[in-house]
């Protein structure tokens, strides 16, 4: 889909799952997008604002989906989550910009974000960024603040398989991703 | 200079020590001796406290009568009730093979129970012990590094969080109680190789070295200090701890006689790699008794030095003599290495229990007061300097 008037550029990147995952900006074209397309129907969207995203989704009749955003698109994703009602199943924020330096996110009423929200930071990311993770955890009611070990700012590049593992589980199970769904019996 | 009493909770009757190989069969254990052993160990810990030892220490080891502390936290909790003044030093839990979140919870509990006196060192373990819990020996360095960082996070993160690691995955962590010492108790890392010392410095851990001869300890502490400086901090003297055997007697002549009979844990250590322990690479006894160099994993010179296979000086009494002589040895050791805390074991094969007890008491009464002024530096605290959170 193309909608230059709304600053929207969307691309259906494929995927085999029944669930629809909207990936903002570069996240869709990354190693994470490639991996998630094994399990989900992935749609990559380039937007500047939450309003643009809402317009594009409405225009193309996309409902009941999860949203994955990276650092630069996290503010728009959170703003969209505040306005989206029940259509947004989960929100995933990968290394969002430090909230202390990002006025847009800081001023958002994060307490009103309703969907389960996964916020990821690398353990080697800068201190201010990780402090943001704690703020998100404190303010977003259903936030799951998760550290990806031995990853820096670019978690996708540093630990793609680890990132995929946790994001996939979250997209599949939402709140229930906190416990394993695989059979753990050694000799069933 | 400070001193730590290494409390081993050794089994007090000789029968099981006759077994060669690891693990030692439990059939050689008598319940009444087991009970006596624990009582004796706790009495010794109480005496160490009264004698002025700064720390009372214990370590995690498995399937051995000589070190009956498979869960040092349990033993540490008992120590915290009888040791009223000294710090309780866990030197330490084997973090490569335990649940790190559980370890963090237990450390926090023990800090609480001890009134904020806990010190902890993260250990990798010896290869035979990896077999106890079925951990792949080849993964243990990486597991130790990850677990150590996770434990620090678990002790310091104020909000519930998840961890997606290489070896550990937890989706919900929120440790209670919070440790009394903030941001966390003083933490050390076992640094018997160049890699481990580098890691300890990078993550602001204190350094623990064991049994190497002084010139090799100096290599490690020198490297560690350089790495600390490169990472923008400087360790206090009591952030460097060295575990050693000591034999103190009234005269040098008596001490020399003890030295002649002492063969430390070298034989036990070698025995660990027989029986089922033979599944892992066997140690070279001469390398255990008299290590000659420290290397890296890459050049293989240390060949598992911090795995307990080679490089340790298990074979001798690192400090041995009359009180005057031992004080002099410790002063020279400190001058060479900068080590600020000695974690001292007074037992070991070849010595009678009476000799070990006399050595312990002489060290506490005649040596300890005289090493206080050696390298006096600021006491360690749970300060921001040792904080590794958010690194």
Closest residue to A149, CB basis, from B157, B166, B390: B166
* Residue A68 scores a pLDDT above 50: yes
C-alpha distance from B146 to closest chain A C-alpha (Å): 8
Kindly state whether A162 is in contact with chain B, defined as any CB-CB distance less than 8 angstroms.
Answer: yes
Task: Compute the C-alpha angle B113/B115/B118, nearest 5°.
Answer: 80
Question: Chain A contacts of B161, Cβ < 8 Å?
Answer: 133, 137, 145-147
**Spacing of C-alpha A116 from chain mean position:** 10
pLDDT bin (cut points 50, 70, 90) of residue B366 is very high
**Percentage of residues in chain A having pLDDT higher than 70:** 85
Measured CA to CA, the distance from residue B303 to residue B193 in angstroms comes to 10
Number of domains in chain A: 1
Task: Compute the C-alpha angle B308/B65/B142, nearest 5°.
Answer: 30
How high is the pLDDT of residue B134?
Answer: 92
User: Which of 111-140 (A) contact B at CB < 8 A?
Assistant: 123, 127, 130-131, 133-134, 137-138
B115-129 per-position pLDDT tens digit: 999 999 999 988 888
Kindly state whether B162 is in contact with chain A, defined as any CB-CB distance less than 8 angstroms.
Answer: yes
Verify whether the Cβ–Cβ distance A150 to B157 is below 8 Å: no
Average pLDDT over residues A18-36: 84
Verify whether the Cβ–Cβ distance A148 to B164 is below 8 Å: yes
Question: Chain A contacts of B168, Cβ < 8 Å?
Answer: 149
C-alpha distance from A167 to closest chain B C-alpha (Å): 10
Closest chain B residue to A179, measured at CA: B171
**Percentage of residues in chain A having pLDDT higher than 90:** 55
Asked if B340 and B224 touch (Cβ cutoff 8 Å), the reply is: no
Verify whether the Cβ–Cβ distance A148 to B390 is below 8 Å: no
Closest residue to A123, CB basis, from B149, B158, B171: B149
Kindly state whether A89 is in contact with chain B, defined as any CB-CB distance less than 8 angstroms.
Answer: no
Q: Give the ipTM.
A: 0.92
Average pLDDT over residues B283-300: 55
Q: Torsion angle, CA of B69/B73/B77/B80, rounded to 10 degrees?
A: 90
CATH number at residue A112: 3.40.50.1820
**Percentage of residues in chain B having pLDDT higher than 70:** 85
How high is the pLDDT of residue B18?
Answer: 84
Average pLDDT, chain B: 88
User: Which residues form the domain of A19?
Assistant: 2-186
Closest residue to B159, CB basis, from A137, A163, A165: A137
Verify whether the Cβ–Cβ distance B164 to A162 is below 8 Å: yes
**Percentage of residues in chain B having pLDDT higher than 90:** 69
Question: Residue A20: beta bridge partners?
Answer: A41, A65
* Residue A4 scores a pLDDT above 50: no
Lowest mean per-residue pLDDT among A106-110, B10-14, B175-179: A106-110
Verify whether the Cβ–Cβ distance B162 to A166 is below 8 Å: yes
Instruction: Tell which wins on pLDDT, B290 or B224.
Output: B224
**Interior/surface letters B330-355, b for 16+ CB within 10 angstroms, e for the rest:** bbebbeebbbbbbbbbbbbebbeeeb
C-alpha distance from A169 to closest chain B C-alpha (Å): 11
How high is the pLDDT of residue B390?
Answer: 36
- pTM of the predicted model, to two decimals? 0.91
* Residue A101 scores a pLDDT above 70: no
Closest chain B residue to A144, measured at CA: B161
Backbone angles phi, psi at B337, to 5 degrees: -110, -25
Average pLDDT, chain A: 86
Lowest mean per-residue pLDDT among B108-117, B134-143, B299-308: B299-308
Average pLDDT over residues B142-159: 97
Kindly state whether B164 is in contact with chain A, defined as any CB-CB distance less than 8 angstroms.
Answer: yes
Kindly state whether A98 is in contact with chain B, defined as any CB-CB distance less than 8 angstroms.
Answer: no
Verify whether the Cβ–Cβ distance B153 to A138 is below 8 Å: no
How high is the pLDDT of residue B391?
Answer: 39
Question: Chain A contacts of B183, Cβ < 8 Å?
Answer: none
Verify whether the Cβ–Cβ distance B164 to A145 is below 8 Å: no
B310-324 per-position pLDDT tens digit: 334 556 788 999 999
C-alpha distance from A13 to closest chain B C-alpha (Å): 27
Verify whether the Cβ–Cβ distance A138 to B159 is below 8 Å: yes
Average pLDDT over residues B63-72: 93
* Residue from B134, B143, B162, B167 whose CB has the most chain A CBs within 10 Å, to mutate: B162
Closest residue to B164, CB basis, from A131, A137, A149: A149
Measured CA to CA, the distance from residue B298 to residue B280 in angstroms comes to 19
Kindly state whether B232 is in contact with chain A, defined as any CB-CB distance less than 8 angstroms.
Answer: no
Average pLDDT over residues B261-269: 66
Lowest mean per-residue pLDDT among B191-200, B348-357, B362-371: B348-357
Beta-carbon contacts of residue A52 (< 8 Å; ≥ 6 apart): A6, A7, A8
Instruction: Name the token pair of A155.
Output: 């978690």
3-class DSSP state of B67: coil
Residue B30 buriedness (CB in 10 A; 0-12 / 13-18 / 19+): middle
B210-248 per-position pLDDT tens digit: 888 888 899 999 999 999 999 999 999 999 999 999 999
Closest chain A residue to B158, measured at CA: A134
Asked if B160 and B173 touch (Cβ cutoff 8 Å), the reply is: yes
* Residue A11 scores a pLDDT above 60: no
Instruction: Tell which wins on pLDDT, A58 or B244.
Output: B244
**Spacing of C-alpha B10 from chain mean position:** 15
Instruction: Tell which wins on pLDDT, B267 or B26.
Output: B26
Measured CA to CA, the distance from residue B238 to residue B245 in angstroms comes to 19
Kindly state whether A80 is in contact with chain B, defined as any CB-CB distance less than 8 angstroms.
Answer: no
Measured CA to CA, the distance from residue A16 to residue B115 in angstroms comes to 57
């Amino acid at each position: 889909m193309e909608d230059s008037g709304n600053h929207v550029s969307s691309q259906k990147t494929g995927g085999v799952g029944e669930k629809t995952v909207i990936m903002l900006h570069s996240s869709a074209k990354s190693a994470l997008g490639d991996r998630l397309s094994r399990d989900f129907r992935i749609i990559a969207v380039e937007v500047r604002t939450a309003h643009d995203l809402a317009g594009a989704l409405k225009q193309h009749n996309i409902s009941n989906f999860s949203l994955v955003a990276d650092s630069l698109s996290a503010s728009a994703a959170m703003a969209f989550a505040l306005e989206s009602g029940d259509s947004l199943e989960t929100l995933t924020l990968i290394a969002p910009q430090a909230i202390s330096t990002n006025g847009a996110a800081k001023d958002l009423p994060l307490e009103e974000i309703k969907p389960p929200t996964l916020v990821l930071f690398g353990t080697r990311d800068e201190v201010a960024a990780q402090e943001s993770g704690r703020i998100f955890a404190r303010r977003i009611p259903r936030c799951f603040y998760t550290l990806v070990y031995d990853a820096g700012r670019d978690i996708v590049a540093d630990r793609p398989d680890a990132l995929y593992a946790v994001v996939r589980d979250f997209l599949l199970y939402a709140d229930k991703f906190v416990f394993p769904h695989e059979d753990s019996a050694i000799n069933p | 200079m400070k001193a730590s009493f290494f409390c081993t909770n050794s089994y007090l009757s000789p029968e099981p020590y006759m077994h060669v190989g690891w693990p030692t069969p439990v059939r050689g254990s008598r319940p009444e001796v087991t009970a006596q052993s624990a009582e004796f160990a706790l009495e010794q810990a109480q005496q160490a406290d009264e004698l002025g030892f700064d720390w009372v220490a214990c370590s995690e080891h498995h399937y051995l009568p000589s070190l009956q502390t498979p869960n040092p936290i349990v033993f540490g909790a008992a120590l915290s009730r009888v040791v009223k003044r000294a710090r309780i030093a866990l030197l330490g839990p084997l973090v490569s093979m335990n649940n790190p979140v559980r370890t963090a919870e237990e450390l926090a509990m023990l800090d609480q129970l001890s009134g904020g006196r806990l010190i902890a060192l993260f250990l990798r373990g010896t290869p035979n012990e990896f077999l106890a819990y079925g951990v792949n020996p080849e993964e243990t360095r990486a597991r130790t590094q990850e677990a150590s960082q996770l434990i620090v996070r678990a002790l310091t993160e104020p909000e519930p969080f998840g961890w997606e690691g290489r070896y550990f995955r937890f989706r919900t962590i929120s440790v209670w109680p919070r440790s009394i010492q903030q941001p966390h108790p003083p933490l050390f890392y076992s640094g018997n190789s160049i890699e481990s010392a580098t890691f300890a410095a990078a993550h602001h851990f204190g350094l623990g070295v064991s049994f190497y001869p002084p010139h090799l300890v100096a290599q490690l502490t020198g490297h560690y200090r350089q790495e600390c400086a490169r990472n923008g901090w400087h360790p206090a003297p009591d952030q460097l701890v060295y575990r050693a055997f000591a034999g103190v007697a009234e005269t040098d002549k008596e001490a020399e006689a003890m030295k002649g009979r002492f063969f430390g844990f070298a034989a036990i250590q070698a025995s660990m790699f027989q029986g089922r322990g033979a599944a892992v690479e066997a140690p070279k006894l001469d390398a255990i008794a008299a290590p000659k160099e420290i290397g890296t994993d890459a050049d293989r010179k240390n060949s598992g030095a911090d795995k307990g296979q080679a490089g340790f000086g298990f074979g001798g009494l690192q400090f041995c003599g009359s009180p005057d002589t031992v004080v002099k040895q410790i002063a020279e050791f400190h001058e060479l290495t900068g080590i600020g805390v000695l974690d001292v074991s007074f037992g070991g094969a070849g010595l009678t229990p009476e000799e070990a007890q006399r050595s312990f008491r002489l060290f506490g009464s005649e040596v300890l007061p005289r090493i206080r002024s050696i390298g006096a530096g600021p006491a360690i605290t749970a300060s921001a300097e040792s904080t590794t959170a958010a690194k």
